[in-house]
A and B are shown apart, each in its own frame.
Chain A
């Protein structure tokens, strides 16, 4: 089972209406993505860190997720400083490190980290299913919402098929080694996993058809927006607007 670790806590953000959270996170991401003022961006990073602290998540797990994102950004740091044209600050053999490049890489680093942090603080504090419902309530096209829902649902299915197959290997004493037998077994495992998940997804779809599914999901639980949700939304949006106005 894929755990949604962050959604299990209890904090201001966990209790907030997911629709408000989606709107705020979207607004924040757009503002951060288009802005190129350093003061605004440092401010954004500050807000993002503050949001994570308010969400009371485990620091260790937040950092481990950031590491994944930053491993990609690290590649940019390897490339960008060398490939920009402009004033050289340092020469390394025949390669020149360019100030523009460093600035650009720094910009991307701040932007992506703040967006990810806000995503963690706002979005991952809701369960996937609440997010799906929220998107539906925000009148996103049904097809997109279903795509999102089924992607999640079938990642889960594939994962559980993997665990079953892996257990089947284990109980018959399989130990991975560097030999053809191991490679062959893993190839079978992957192939079998895909075939079986595909079959299962077909059977689940059939079961849905049998219960009158015609391509539209109807929600059982409706969200009720409280005044507090609305107020929190306004406060957060104003903070983000404030970023833009920073000198």
Chain B
């Protein structure tokens, strides 16, 4: 095994997290994610799967413990800036993700934030749309898209940032079989990509991931 693969890129050590007016979601929670891994995450509703993603992205703050990402401890907002540029999170609800008037502008939002210049951004935009089979969608208005289209465009907005790791929160929910198959193909045609997928769709996980973790009562284990 190469050196880079031994070091966990995402590392949670003894992490605690609690929402107001609820019991602990995580208590002494530890978890390692290595580069090149493709894992599925299952668990009951409310078991903390989405919370885990939001902790990785720094949208929620743990009440105790340590988060290490890309070999550095991440504590404050500024630490997570770099994380967000290298890890892409796809939200459960596409209406949370899309906010620009047109598809092109929404997809360009990420690359422009990464300070890509115009030519590069337009090139990324074109490539992303082609990869995800959305060519011709550039000038469509985001809030007039169908639900399935919105989900694909949301994926495109994350994809355009060329993240090293993808966090996909229920990517197949309410999608038809054709669109799910499309996502499977996209993921499988990029073998270098690492990702964690939250899903209840067992068939989808089987086709896209190498191993599955179960979250239960604030603990995580391989199944």
Is A212 a contact of B59 with CB atoms below 8 Å?
Answer: no
Binds B, one of A106-114, A173-181, A198-206: A198-206
A221 to B112, CA, bound (A): 12
Contacts of B158 in A (CB 8 A): 210-211
Q: For the complex, is A218 an interface residue (Cβ under 8 Å from B)?
A: yes
Q: For the complex, is A220 an interface residue (Cβ under 8 Å from B)?
A: yes
Q: A129, A156, A204, A220 — which one has the most chain B CB atoms within 10 A of its CB?
A: A220
B153 CB to closest chain A CB (Å) equals 13
Is B161 a contact of A203 with CB atoms below 8 Å?
Answer: no
Q: A1, A208, A213, A218 — which one has the most chain B CB atoms within 10 A of its CB?
A: A218
Our count of residue pairs bridging A and B at CB distance below 8 angstroms stands at 66
Q: For the complex, is B21 an interface residue (Cβ under 8 Å from A)?
A: no
Binds A, one of B99-107, B176-184, B194-202, B210-218: B99-107
Is A1 a contact of B112 with CB atoms below 8 Å?
Answer: no
Contacts of A203 in B (CB 8 A): 91, 93, 96
Is A200 a contact of B95 with CB atoms below 8 Å?
Answer: yes
Contacts of A127 in B (CB 8 A): 101
Is B110 a contact of A212 with CB atoms below 8 Å?
Answer: yes
Q: For the complex, is A209 an interface residue (Cβ under 8 Å from B)?
A: yes
Is A206 a contact of B59 with CB atoms below 8 Å?
Answer: yes
Known contacts: A1-B143, A212-B81, A220-B104. The answer to whether A207 contacts B97 by CB under 8 A is yes
Q: For the complex, is A153 an interface residue (Cβ under 8 Å from B)?
A: yes
Is A212 a contact of B104 with CB atoms below 8 Å?
Answer: no
Q: For the complex, is B108 an interface residue (Cβ under 8 Å from A)?
A: yes
Which residues 210-227 of A sit at the B interface, judged by CB distance below 8 A? Answer: 210-214, 218-222
- Residue interface bits A17-49, CB-to-B below 8 A is 1, else 0: 000000000000000000000000000000000
Is A218 a contact of B96 with CB atoms below 8 Å?
Answer: no
B14 CB to closest chain A CB (Å) equals 25
Known contacts: A207-B96, A210-B59. The answer to whether A220 contacts B112 by CB under 8 A is yes
Contacts of B145 in A (CB 8 A): none
Known contacts: A1-B143, A203-B91, A207-B96. The answer to whether A212 contacts B84 by CB under 8 A is yes
A206 to B53, CA, bound (A): 12
Contacts of A129 in B (CB 8 A): 101
Known contacts: A220-B104, A220-B112. The answer to whether A211 contacts B81 by CB under 8 A is no
Is B99 a contact of A207 with CB atoms below 8 Å?
Answer: yes
Is A210 a contact of B113 with CB atoms below 8 Å?
Answer: no
Q: A206, A207, A221 — which one has the most chain B CB atoms within 10 A of its CB?
A: A207
Known contacts: A203-B93, A220-B121. The answer to whether A208 contacts B101 by CB under 8 A is no
Contacts of B171 in A (CB 8 A): none
- Residue interface bits A161-203, CB-to-B below 8 A is 1, else 0: 0000000000000000000000000000000000000001001
B48 CB to closest chain A CB (Å) equals 17
Chain A: CB-nearest residue to B167: A210
Q: For the complex, is B172 an interface residue (Cβ under 8 Å from A)?
A: no
Contacts of B41 in A (CB 8 A): none
Contacts of B59 in A (CB 8 A): 206, 209-210
Contacts of B16 in A (CB 8 A): none
Q: For the complex, is B157 an interface residue (Cβ under 8 Å from A)?
A: yes
Is B161 a contact of A211 with CB atoms below 8 Å?
Answer: yes
Return 21 A-B CB contacts under 8 Å, by A number: A1-B143, A127-B101, A129-B101, A200-B95, A203-B93, A203-B96, A204-B96, A206-B54, A207-B96, A208-B99, A211-B84, A211-B88, A211-B109, A211-B157, A214-B81, A214-B113, A218-B109, A218-B112, A218-B113, A220-B104, A220-B112
Question: What are the nearest 7 A-B pairs in CB distance?
Answer: A212-B113, A218-B112, A211-B110, A203-B96, A220-B108, A207-B97, A129-B101
Apart from A208-B109, A210-B158, A214-B81, what 17 extra A-B contacts exist at CB < 8 Å?
Answer: A1-B143, A153-B99, A200-B95, A204-B96, A204-B97, A206-B54, A207-B96, A207-B99, A209-B57, A209-B59, A209-B84, A211-B113, A211-B161, A213-B109, A214-B113, A220-B118, A221-B105
